[in-house]
Amino acid sequence: MVKCTICGVKEASYARLYSGEKLCTKCFIESIEYKVRTTIAKHKMFEFNDRIAVAVSGGKDSVSLLHILATRAEGLPRAS
């Protein structure tokens, strides 16, 4: 059993080839959410009280982005 390189406890279920990381499901999800939040902050994509429209194709990328924006990204507007 290969352990997660971040938490070192759970079994890895995802291998990130470009970095060599092996992540459990929880650490993988947290890393994606962190990348989204830091990218938004780095590029100053939103300001306070901005309204955000997200076009969703139904694919995993757009649905994941919508989920993160609606539920996880601190300081960003919530879905109504």
Cα distance from N-terminal residue to C-terminal residue, the chain: 42
Classify residue 69 as left (phi > 0), alpha (psi -120 to 50) or beta.
alpha
Asked if residue 36 is part of any domain, the answer here is: yes
Q: Which 3 state secondary structure label does DSSP give 15?
A: strand
Residue 3 DSSP one-character state = B
- Beta pairing partners, 15: 22
- Beta pairing partners, 3: 11
Amino acid at 21: E
Expressed as residue numbers, the domain containing 22 is 14-71
What's the total number of domains in the chain? 1
Question: Tell me, what's the pLDDT at 72?
Answer: 66
Asked if residue 5 is part of any domain, the answer here is: no
Q: What string of pLDDT tens digits covers the 80 residues of the chain?
A: 899 999 999 999 999 999 999 999 999 999 998 888 888 888 988 887 788 888 899 999 999 888 888 886 556 544 44
pLDDT tens sequence across 19-35:
999 999 999 999 998 88
pTM for the full model?
A: 0.76
